[in-house]
Structure formats: structure tokens, C-alpha cells
Amino acid sequence: MIILGVCNANVSGAMLFVNGKVIASVNEERFSRRKNHRIFPKQSIEYCLGQANLSIADVDYVACGAWGGVDAEYLPRVVEELLAASSKDPAAAKLINDRTKVATKSDTFYKNELVDSLLALGFAKADIKTHDHHMSHAYTAFFPSHFDEAIVFTLDGRGDLKSATISKATRKNGLELLDSTSMYNSIGAFYGFITRYLGFSPDRHEGKVTGLAALGNPDTCFSILQKMISFKDGKIIANIGENYSPFLGAKMPKIESQLDEHSKEDVAAAAQKLTEDISLAYLQKFLSETKIRNVCLSGGVFGNVKLNQRIREMDDVDDIYVFPQMGDGGNGFGGGLIELYNQGKEFSYPLEDVFLGPSYNNNEIKEQLAKHSDQLDWQDIKDYGLSQIAKDLAGGTIVGVFAGRMEFGPRSLGARSIIASASDANINNTLNDRLHRTEFMPFAPVTLEDYADTYYVGWDASQISAHFMTVCYECKPRASSECPAIVHVDNTARPQIINKENSIPLYHDILVAYHKLTGIATLINTSFNNHEEPIVCSPADAIDSLLKDNVDYVIMEDVVVKKIV
């Protein structure tokens, strides 16, 4: 059975199942070169089908994990919430009305765009399926995980009228929805407001708020933010009106005037703490009721690695799994999963890796290099040597790695990565300058699995989320002494833990060589891209990054490429 998963929500993309096995998955931004590109994913569809040598006629179902519409059984709960909100603040009614109109208009437009574009490509209307947004997130959270039973928590800005769900999941019985929170009481919208207030772009730069939060004191303005949204009587409740608006990037003069008395760092810290406190309180209710100790997470809010750390450290939690493409860029994957199970098939779990994007052979790479023969020089990696690469890194050289199939999701995991020594904390300033990134953002490490427990508190080999850089850990003294560049001011890091089986061979071999030379089993691993650009996809993209001086040189499969000086 051939199932094509697609979505044209934020960070659009496509994926392909062939008889329950995922063959390809990619986001359109990597081809269009526009970060978080929201567009019909034509190039992604073409790539996925091409990867399996299939045509449109071969596809049995096309499934989207969004635009599923409103669940009729859920409407009474929403109406109850909205009536309560309107009774507390006269301004709530207009905000609710505006939010509903905007959401309905937007969802209708994008659903029609998706269906019309699929029909124009030649897909049959009867084969096109749309599914609930949060159910899509929930499917991606559980079915690719390594658990047989889990509580599934989805959390984002909004989707098909909801902003959060809690489900109970088992391999035998699938997902049972336990609770939902409407888009009018959205943690994601709250965090988006803070992102906009702090001068960043909502639905894009929330990670900067998380990084900034470590520099502040949450207590100075926590009480102000508590006026906006809270956990009460077992529910996430927003004070819709002058203290809260259910729009990403909303403007709220009354709240903002109070926040203006405080530093940006303190506001970020308070927002992070409130997000964590509400999310954990909501989750705890269902952990206590079900006694299930594994938690699966998906939805854009779970791009927040500090929140994920807090959940992993809960007393009633043994382990967590975060879907690697946790935001709406994973909704094509989620739609495909729902349709797979609807057709009586199963996913071959767990998802071992996310190297599901395009790859390029040496001939294709050298063809692109030849176009820049007056600017670039290259030699075979066997002649250059892994030991020399290790020496370069130890000496402060910044290296790009371009090898194998590109990663699916927002994290670079060694196929399209920039690596550097973490031994000198000043390398952060150099990297930020060359990549044009914000100075307070920490850089993440890659660490050999055999030594991970000597660097990170509480790490265990069973915690596969650490393979995908989706959770933070407290750092042990070894990390601080050997690798100060990867330790954030709150003594945490967001590591990628690799072994020979779960990583790109070249990437793993470089780290092994570096460890052999220095005794240090950790390097900086950051995404291979200039600021505000998507991660590189093609050889041409990698060459462009090198020519922009983002890196000192690039290893592209079997060749080491440097600029001619």
C-alpha cells in the first residue's frame, strides 16, 4: 500500500509510506530556500515519489494531518468555555468572534488550496483524506516511539479548534482521547505573544525566548503573566479579554505596560516558568489517573527543550519521546500515519532515524564544485585524513559536514551540520558572528554514546529522544571543564547522543578521531545554515554557505572543500 502524507500548514512538506515503511520525508523550505515556507509542497511530493520510483498513479491514498474540521462531540465543551470567558470580561466576546472568523477563513482557504493543487497534479478526489490536526500530532508522538504504552500530550498554538490534547495510547488499542483544550485557551498563543513582545517573530523565534529565559529572574513579573493564563480546576484557562488574546503575536496594552517595567530577560524567564508550570500541572492530572509512566510529546510547543526536560524529570515519568519534527512540519507524517492505521496497517516502530531527505553522490557534488573552480579547491578525504580533520577542529577550525540523506525536522543531526571544538567558550562569539545569529543562544553538543553519562546528569541509553536533540540535560562537571561552549548559563545542554548505528558514518568517524586525539568525546553541532535560511539541502546550498564564510571548509561526502586563498 502506498500512502503519501502531505501538508500545507506552517512548514509544509510531504512523506511517503510503502507497505508501512517510511521511505522519505521532507519539508518544502529545503527546496524553496525560504525558511518555514508555507506553500503547497509540490517539490516535496516529487522528491518523495521519486525516491521510490513511483508515479502519482501508484499512490493509493493522499493524507493530510490538518484541515480535519471541528469535532462535533467537542463543541459543547468549547461553548461552555466561551460562555464562561464572556461572562468574566466584556472584551472576550469580540476576541472570540474574531479568532473564530480568522481561523475558519484561514483553514478553509488552505484546505481548498491543498485539495485543488492535488487534483491539478492528477490525484483522485476520493483518495484525498484530511485528518484532525491534533490527532495527527498525537499519532506522530506515539506510533514512531519505542513505547508499548504511553500518555500522549500535544500542545501548540492551534489546529482544528484545539491547542492541546491528552490521550492514552497502547499498541493494541491505539489512541483514546482523554481531554482537549480549545484554541481560545492556548499556551502556544501565550508564548507567541511573549515572543512578539520581546521583539522576535512569533511562530518562528520562540526558541530565542527559551534561550533568553535562562538569563532572567522569573519571580519579578511572574504574577503579571499569571493574569493571562493559568491551570485551574483541572483545565488550562486563559483570561480572554484585556489580559489575554488567543492570537499568536497579539497586542495587549494593559499587560504590556506592566511588563515594560521589567527586563526582557525577566519576562522571558517568567513566560518559560509559567509555560512549564501549567503544562506539567495539566499532564500530572492524567499521569496520576492512569498510572502510566511514559510520555509522548508532539506539537510546536514541544520544540521547547527546557519544557521537555522538566517533563522528563517529573517524579511520575520514566521516559519521554518527542517526535523529531514536532511542529506543523510533521503534519504530513501524521496524516500518513492516521491513514495507514485506518487502512488496517501498522508502522514499523521505533523510528530509528530521520535521515529521510535527499542525498547526492560524488559525481553530483563535483559537478557543482566545477562551477566554482576559480574560488574553491578540493581533495579526497582519504588523502586529507580524518586525523587532520580532528587536528583542525582542535585548533579552532569550523567545519561543515554534508553527507548522506538530509535530516527531516528542525535539527541538524550530522548529515547537514556545522561542527567545532567546544573547548573554548569564545568559539560561541565566532560562530554567532559568522552565522549572524543571536548572541545569547547556546550551541548544542554531539557526544559519543559510550561517554554520554560522564557529561549529562540522568542520561540513560534507553532515552532515544537524545538521538534527536529534543531534550535538555543538566551538565556534569566534565562538560563544564572540557566543553564550556556547549553549557548554557543555567548549566544545561541539548545534546545529540550518537553511536555507530544511529548516525551518519562520516560524522561519527570524525568525532571518534577527535576523541582519540583530544580525549574529549564532544563537539559543537549546530545547523548548517546562515541565520534565517533553511538548513542546506543540496551541494549548491553547502557551497553557498562556504562562500559566505559560515565555515572554514566543508566535507562533502568523499571530498574536503576549501576556498582558494
Mean pLDDT on 363-383: 97
**pLDDT over threshold 90, residue 489:** yes
Query: Do the bridges between strand 21-27 and strand 13-18 make them parallel or antiparallel, or are there none, so unpaired?
Result: antiparallel
What pLDDT score does 79 carry? 86
Q: What would the pLDDT profile of 310-348 be if each residue is shown by its tens digit? A: 999 999 999 999 999 999 999 999 999 999 999 999 999
- DSSP sequence for 177-213: EEEEEEGGG-HHHHHHHHHHHTTS-TTT-HHHHHHHH
Q: What would the pLDDT profile of 446-486 be if each residue is shown by its tens digit? A: 999 999 999 999 999 999 999 999 999 999 999 999 999 99
Count helices and strands (H / E) in the chain: 19, 22
Mean pLDDT on 535-546: 98
The pLDDT-based confidence of 74 (bands split at 50, 70, 90) is confident
Distance CA 373, CA 369 (A): 6
Residue type, 212: L
Mean pLDDT on 105-113: 96
**pLDDT over threshold 80, residue 438:** no
Residue type, 297: L
Mean pLDDT on 521-533: 96
Mean pLDDT on 370-376: 98
73 vs 365 pLDDT, higher one = 365
Neighbours of 234 (CB within 10 A): 11
Q: What would the pLDDT profile of 213-264 be if each residue is shown by its tens digit? A: 999 999 999 999 999 999 999 999 999 999 999 998 888 999 999 999 999 9
CB contact at 8 A, 193 and 206:
no
Q: What are the two backbone dihedrals, phi and then psi, of residue 528, each rounded to the nearest 5 degrees?
A: -85, 85
Distance CA 353, CA 505 (A): 13
What's the pTM? 0.97
The pLDDT-based confidence of 560 (bands split at 50, 70, 90) is very high
What percentage of the chain reaches a pLDDT higher than 90?
A: 93
**pLDDT over threshold 90, residue 87:** no
Name the nearest CA neighbour of 45 among 343, 352, 342, 332: 332
Q: What are the two backbone dihedrals, phi and then psi, of residue 173, each rounded to the nearest 5 degrees?
A: -110, -5
Mean pLDDT of the chain: 96
289 vs 436 pLDDT, higher one = 289
The pLDDT-based confidence of 426 (bands split at 50, 70, 90) is very high
What pLDDT score does 253 carry? 95
The pLDDT-based confidence of 442 (bands split at 50, 70, 90) is confident
What pLDDT score does 350 carry? 96
The pLDDT-based confidence of 565 (bands split at 50, 70, 90) is confident
Mean pLDDT on 24-43: 97
What percentage of the chain reaches a pLDDT higher than 70?
A: 100
Distance CA 426, CA 429 (A): 5
What pLDDT score does 130 carry? 97
Domains in the chain, CATH or no CATH each: 2-73+93-135 (3.30.420.40), 139-325 (3.30.420.40), 362-563 (3.90.870.20)
510, three cell numbers: 570524525
**pLDDT over threshold 90, residue 78:** no
Which region, left, alpha or beta, applies to residue 21 given φ > 0 means left and ψ of -120 to 50 means alpha? beta
**pLDDT over threshold 90, residue 296:** yes
**pLDDT over threshold 90, residue 168:** yes
**pLDDT over threshold 80, residue 122:** yes
Distances (CA, A) of 341 to 4, 20, 168, 176, 346: 14, 9, 16, 14, 6
**pLDDT over threshold 80, residue 271:** yes
Distance CA 368, CA 544 (A): 11
What pLDDT score does 88 carry? 84
Q: What are the two backbone dihedrals, phi and then psi, of residue 129, each rounded to the nearest 5 degrees?
A: -120, 140
The region of weakest confidence among 114-123, 245-254, 264-273 is: 245-254
